[in-house]
Chains A and B, each alone.
Chain A
Amino acid sequence: KQEVTQIPAALSVPEGENLVLNCSFTDSAIYNLQWFRQDPGKGLTSLLLIQSSQREQTSGRLNASLDKSSGRSTLYIAASQPGDSATYLCAITKYGGSQGNLIFGKGTKLSVKP
């Protein structure tokens, strides 16, 4: 069974630091990987979608990479700000799964302190 793991479960950093969030998956046969942000009591906001044929995607201060062979993805956040505080979720879509069936990790709760 495909599993998605995010380590650490929680992370606290001072404002201005660059940081990396990690996501690993057990089966390399994936279509894509998506990173989401979830604010407390809110829904999910899609940050970046990486297709299986891609190595990375960038949006502003965010950069996500994908290494299918090792079953890993990282989300790099440059120059972190207090407004980046949220839970970050990664999700994969695998070959042979239900159409659009995202398999989620449990998330990393990020706190950026002023």
Chain B
Amino acid sequence: NAGVTQTPKFQVLKTGQSMTLQCAQDMNHNSMYWYRQDPGMGLRLIYYSASEGTTDKGEVPNGYNVSRLNKREFSLRLESAAPSQTSVYFCASSPLAGATYEQYFGPGTRLTVT
């Protein structure tokens, strides 16, 4: 039982390049989330998927798109990377959306945009 896995672990992009961050969970959770963590800002929600087939914006969605590929996988795409998107990205999952359920986090992807 691997929990929440993310690929890649590290990535360096040039401004304007695109890439997709992958996330998968094997806990049969319905809800999945993408956060970014920046020094001095804490973690902020980018997008979430309450259930398979649905996605919604979080606090900082601009410059990102997401796809809930199936119940296990939730990807985050940067279409045209900018230096402001340099951050650590975390994927999380929970049994259901809503406040009563714990969220379980992946190890993170460290992205640098030059």
Q: Which residues of A contact B (CB under 8 A)?
A: 4, 31-32, 34, 36, 41-46, 49, 51, 89, 91, 93, 98-102, 104-107
Instruction: Determine whether the beta carbon of B103 is less than 8 Å from that of A46.
Output: yes
Main secondary structure of the interface of A (DSSP, over half): strand
Contacts of A44 in B (CB 8 A): 43, 90, 92, 105
Verify if B104 is at the interface (C-beta below 8 Å from A).
Answer: yes
Instruction: Determine whether the beta carbon of A98 is less than 8 Å from that of B107.
Output: no
Instruction: Determine whether the beta carbon of B90 is less than 8 Å from that of A43.
Output: yes
Instruction: Determine whether the beta carbon of A105 is less than 8 Å from that of B100.
Output: no
Contacts of A100 in B (CB 8 A): 31, 33, 48, 50, 94, 97-99, 101, 103
Beyond A41-B108, A43-B108, A104-B42, 16 extra complex contacts between A and B, CB < 8 Å: A4-B42, A42-B108, A44-B90, A44-B92, A89-B42, A89-B43, A91-B43, A98-B56, A99-B48, A99-B99, A100-B97, A100-B101, A101-B59, A102-B103, A106-B42, A107-B42
Instruction: Determine whether the beta carbon of B99 is less than 8 Å from that of A98.
Output: no
Shortest distance between the CB of A108 and any CB in chain B (Å): 12
Shortest distance between the CB of B57 and any CB in chain A (Å): 8
Verify if B58 is at the interface (C-beta below 8 Å from A).
Answer: yes
Instruction: Determine whether the beta carbon of A99 is less than 8 Å from that of B50.
Output: yes
Bound CA span A32–B98, Å: 10
Bound CA span A106–B59, Å: 16
Instruction: Determine whether the beta carbon of B108 is less than 8 Å from that of A98.
Output: no
Q: A98-B48, A101-B58 are in contact. Are A93 and B99 (CB under 8 A)?
A: yes
Q: Name B103's contact: one of A34, A105, A106 (CB within 8 Å).
A: A34
Verify if B26 is at the interface (C-beta below 8 Å from A).
Answer: no
